[in-house]
Amino acid sequence: MIAVLAAALSGCGLVNAQEPERLPVPTFSESSSATASAGDGVVDEGLPDDCATLLSADDFAALGAQPVGSVTLRTVRGIPEPSVNRTERVACSYSGTAGPAKARKLLDLNVGRYTDATAASKQWTLNTAAERDGSPSRDLVLGSASAVLIERRTESVLAVVYGIDTLTFILPAQEPVAGKAPGDRLVDLALRVLPKVGATQPAPPPVTTPPPGPAIPASDGTRAPGPSAVAAENR
């Protein structure tokens, strides 16, 4: 299913979208779905202390057509940020340990948890408005999650809001892997991580789509100071 999604995404250039592109989330095991569902007595488990729970280093290496053991993973727990109603933050950093990718950053994944879906959507809207600044972007819908895909010369960014969580995938500029462009790879990664994040939420995310931020025409990729500096702290 993920391969089909990636193939469909590859055929589309990054343009300013009027309507978000809707991509179905693949079907996962019954046990995973049951864990992610809300019911009486469901408790917010909180974000995991180890990023390997969301996406292990070996799984990331396999998705990038790299040998097992060639990627290292670092987890950093953030602190709450009451000013934006963020209760938790986990930063996941994937780096190469061998071959051409040795000591090179391969992916940053930042997950923030908020007091409610409204707070998460508000921060996501602020962040995506800043990320779009001067860059081509496209709105996507991944099941009940909304996302914005931005590609620059130096990096590709997929910013997602999913219930009470925001997720930001940052992929440094690199050659296509296994025939997949960076945007395709980010969607693949998000579709694997979202069910793991959803399983820790106290209730399933509502099937709603927050309003997308303004689409700004592409420029030379430079970004002026302003709201982007604020949003970067809450990626």
Q: What is the CATH number of the domain that holds 128?
A: 3.40.1000.10
Average pLDDT value for the chain: 77
Q: Say what the pLDDT of residue 119 is.
A: 98
Q: Does a structural domain hold residue 39?
A: no
Average pLDDT over residues 31-38: 35
Backbone angles phi, psi at 116, to 5 degrees: -160, 175
Q: Does a structural domain hold residue 20?
A: no
Our separate counts of H helices and E strands in the chain read 6, 8
Tokens representing 26 are 């693949």
Q: Say what the pLDDT of residue 38 is.
A: 34
- Residue 227 scores a pLDDT above 70: no
Q: Does a structural domain hold residue 159?
A: yes
Amino acid letter for position 96:
G
Q: Does a structural domain hold residue 34?
A: no
Q: Does a structural domain hold residue 173?
A: yes
Q: Does a structural domain hold residue 54?
A: yes
For residue 38, give the 3-state DSSP assignment. Answer: coil
Average pLDDT over residues 34-60: 72
Distance CA 62, CA 86 (A): 32
Total number of domains in the chain: 1
Buried b (16+ CB within 10 A) or exposed e, 173-185: eeeeeeebbbbbb
- Residue 97 scores a pLDDT above 70: yes
Domain range holding 220?
2-13+44-232
Average pLDDT over residues 192-220: 67
Q: Does a structural domain hold residue 48?
A: yes
